[in-house]
Amino acid sequence: MKHILVIDLQRGEPTSPGRDGTRTLSFAGNEIEIKHVGCDGDVERARELIAQYDGQVDAMALEGMPAQLKLGNITHAHELGTQLRAIATQTPVVDGSGVRDGLERWAVMLADRAQPGIFAEKFILMVPGVNHSGLADEIAKHSPAMRYADPFVFFNLPDFPGVGSKQTLEQVAAPTLEQLARLPFKRVHPLAGTPHAHRAESPFEHADVLVGDIGAIRRYAPHELKRKTIVVESATEADIADLKARGASIVVTLMPGLDERGALGDLPASVLEAIFVACRTNTALSLNEDTYLDMMANLDWTPHIRYLRADEAGVNKFAFVIHPLNVAFIHQNKLLKWTKYLPDDLVEATAAYFPPLYLSKITGAQSPTTGQRVEGYLFSLGATPRQMMQHNEKFTYTRLNQAARMAERMGARIMGLGAFTSVVGDAGITVANESDIAITSGNSLTVAATLEAAKQAVIQMGATDLTRGKVMIVGATGSIGSVCARLLAQAIHDVVLVSIEPAKLIELKRTIQNETPGAQVTIALRADELIGECDLIVTATSAFGQRVVDITKCKPGAVICDVARPPDINTAEAALRPDVLVIESGEVLIPGDIDFGYDIGLPPKTSYACLAETCLLAMEGRFEDYTLGRNIEMERVKEIYRLFKKHQFKLAGLRSFGKYITAEDVAVKRALAEELRADAERFANVKRETSKQLAKIPASSKGVRVSNNGWKKWLAIGVGAGIIGAIAMRPRTLH
Q: What is the largest CA-CA distance in the chain?
A: 113
- Let me know: does 594 contact 367? Beta carbons within 8 Å: no
Calpha distance 287→284 (Å, rounded): 9
Among candidate residues 697, 442, 388, 378, the one with its CA nearest the CA of residue 585: 442
Task: Return the pLDDT at 723.
Answer: 46
Q: 34-38, 337-341, 375-379: which has the minimum mean pLDDT?
A: 337-341
Q: Is the pLDDT of residue 595 over 80?
A: yes
Cα separation, 11 vs 40, in Å, equals: 4
Omega before 566 within 30 of 0, i.e. cis: yes
Question: Distance between CA 404 and CA 137 in Å, rounded?
Answer: 23
Q: Which amino acid is at 636?
A: R
CA distance 118 to 383: 30
539 strand-pairing partners: 474, 562
In angstroms, the CA 192 to CA 232 distance is 13
In this predicted structure, the answer to whether residue 731 has a pLDDT above a threshold of 80 is no
For the stretch 559-593, pLDDT in tens is 999 988 778 888 999 999 999 999 987 889 999 99
Return the axis-axis angle of helices 634-646 and 443-460, rounded to nearest 10°: 70
Residue 702: per-residue pLDDT = 54
- CB distance 62 to 131 below 8 Å: no
Pairing of the two strands 146-148 and 124-127: parallel
Contact 329, 351 (CB under 8 A): no
Predicted local confidence at residue 19, as pLDDT: 47
Distance from C-alpha of 473 to C-alpha of 539, rounded to nearest angstrom = 6
> Given a cut of 50, is residue 727 above it in pLDDT?
no
* Window from 328-337, 581-590, 630-639, 712-721 with minimum mean pLDDT: 712-721
Q: 695: burial class by Cβ within 10 Å (0-12, 13-18, 19+)?
A: exposed
Residue 713 has a pLDDT of 43
Long-range Cβ contact pairs of 676-680 (< 8 A, separation 24 or more): 676/556, 676/557, 676/579, 677/556, 677/557
Q: How many CB atoms lie within 10 A of CB 461?
A: 20
270 vs 275: CA distance, rounded Å: 9
- Nearest residue to 629 via CA among 407, 432, 416: 432
Distance (Å, rounded) from C-alpha 120 to C-alpha 413? 10
Give me the pLDDT at residue 627, please.
92
Contact 412, 389 (CB under 8 A): no
**Region at 20 (left for phi over 0; alpha for psi -120 to 50; beta for the rest):** left
Q: How far is CA 735 from CA 208, 318, 378, in A?
A: 11, 13, 11
Answer yes or no: is pLDDT of 608 > 50. Answer: yes
- In 404-506 the beta strands, taken as DSSP E runs, fall at 414-417, 438-440, 471-474, 494-498
Q: How, if at all, do strands 209-212 and 559-562 pair?
A: unpaired
- Look over the chain and give the mean of its residue pLDDT values, rounded to a whole number: 87
Distance CA 480, CA 501 (A): 15
Instruction: Please give the full DSSP string across 587-627, using - where no structure is assigned.
Output: PEEPSEEEE-SS--SS-TTEE-HHHHHHHHHHHHT--S--S
507: closest CA among 630, 635, 389? 630
Identify the pLDDT of residue 704: 54
**CA count, 13 A, side-chain hemisphere, 337:** 2
Distance, in Å, from the CA atom of 453 to the CA atom of 347, rounded to the nearest integer, reads 36
Question: What is the rounded CA–CA span in Å between residue 608 and residue 563?
Answer: 11
Q: What's the chain's Rg over C-alpha atoms?
A: 33
Using a 10 angstrom Cβ sphere, with 0-12 exposed, 13-18 middle and 19 or more buried, the burial of residue 373 is: buried
pTM, two decimals, is 0.73
Residue range 48-70, pLDDT digits in tens: 999 999 999 999 999 999 999 99
pLDDT: is 468 or 134 the higher one?
Answer: 134
Q: How many CB atoms lie within 10 A of CB 646?
A: 14
Please give the share of the chain, as a percent, with pLDDT higher than 90: 55
Dihedral Cα 605, 607, 612, 616, nearest 10 deg: 10
Average pLDDT of the segment spanning 120-146 = 90
Q: pLDDT confidence of 328, banded at 50, 70, 90?
A: confident
Residues in the chain: 735
Distance CA 565, CA 422 (A): 11
Residue 350 has pLDDT above 60, yes or no: yes
3-state class of 64 per DSSP?
A: coil
